[in-house]
Amino acid sequence: MTLVVKRLILFCLLFLSGCSNAILQDFSGKIYGTTYSIKIAENSSYANLESKIKNELTRIDYVFSTYKPSSEISLINNDDDLEWSKEFRNLYETSMEISTLSEGAFSPKDNNGYDFSAIGKGYAIDKIAELVEQNGVNNYFIEIGGEIRSKGSKFKENWIFGIERPINSKKSPYIAFNVPKGGISIATSGEYREPNHIWGKGPRDLLSVTVAHESATYADAWATALYVLGKDQGLMTAELNGLKVFFILANGDSIQSSNWSMISP
């Protein structure tokens, strides 16, 4: 066998070996009464992350789940004198920041005590993003219950997110966008699938509100706050705070904040 042939065979083997690793890795399951999916587009295996992801999601569940009697939030709601963890306090302070900026439209407390359900999924997404990045992942798409955080690309192609068409009968995209490769978080709030699950007085003249932000925590909280505020006050608040927001109105039309134009379809 000639040297040229040997080199050609070696090149082919290396090429095939490289291609075999270019498989989209997807770690998915159920959590927080919904589903999650973490997609990783790297030329190396990250199978070791699956258990770490599950453990982190479960850990967060036992901090903020009001459905678990032994979670931190449940224990705090039953004992006003219980000391708060740093994590709990940080999320409370973030919630109160959004509450102040939205003039009370967002609240981390109801008649039953503290409740972070309107910010918890976004927070969990941010923590999983920290986890995968700490393990060397630069191209990922994280989704929990419809909220996302993404960075990089899907093997040289843009990740794509879609805003759901807010109707009860069928899930379909209202509009789709390329995710900026530098990364972004997207959260949507509305009651078109779960009527009356968002507390707070408001005009209810929107079908859904989608917020793009660097932080999934803030995107999640702001989406809820702006939905409660309604079309006019919501748009005004979005502009005052420089937010990227896409509103779908009760009649099916849409309006956007001026900064939403920074995201190209």
**What is the per-residue pLDDT across 208-232, written as a single tens digit (0 to 9) for each?**
999 999 999 999 999 999 999 999 9
Residue 59: band (very low, low, confident or very high) from pLDDT cuts 50, 70, 90: very high
More reliable by pLDDT, 19 or 244: 244
Using CB atoms within 10 A of its CB, is residue 99 exposed (0-12), middle (13-18) or buried (19+)?
Answer: middle
Distances in whole angstroms, Cα of residue 258 to Cα of each of 51, 164, 182, 203, 245: 41, 21, 20, 22, 8
Contacts of 86 (CB under 8 A, 6+ apart): none
| Token reading at 99 | 């509450």
**Which residue ranges form the domains of the chain, and what is each CATH number?**
24-262 (3.10.520.10)
pLDDT of 126 over the 60 cut: yes
**How far is it, in rounded angstroms, from Cα 116 to Cα 91?**
8
Which of 10-19, 103-112, 184-193, 252-261 is predicted least confidently?
A: 10-19
pLDDT of residue 5: 35
In percent, how much of the chain has pLDDT > 90? 74
Whether the CA torsion 244, 246, 249, 255 is positive or negative: it is: positive
Q: Say if residue 102's pLDDT is above 70.
A: yes
pLDDT tier at 60, thresholds 50, 70, 90: very high
pLDDT of residue 201: 67
Residue 216: φ, ψ to 5°: -70, -30
Q: Please say whether the beta carbons of 207 and 164 come within 8 A.
A: no
pLDDT per residue as tens digits for the range 185-203: 999 998 766 655 565 566 6
CA–CA distance from 69 to each of 61, 66, 113, 150, 231 (Å)? 11, 7, 13, 33, 38
With cut-offs at 50, 70 and 90, classify the pLDDT of residue 166.
confident
pLDDT band at 173 (very low <50, low <70, confident <90, very high): confident
Tell me what pLDDT residue 216 has.
98
Please provide the size of the chain in residues: 265
pLDDT tier at 3, thresholds 50, 70, 90: very low
Determine the Cα–Cα distance for residues 183 and 138; give it in Å rounded to an integer.
10
Its sign, for the CA torsion 30, 64, 183, 42, is negative
- What's the pLDDT at 187? 96
In this model, does residue 100 exceed pLDDT 80? yes
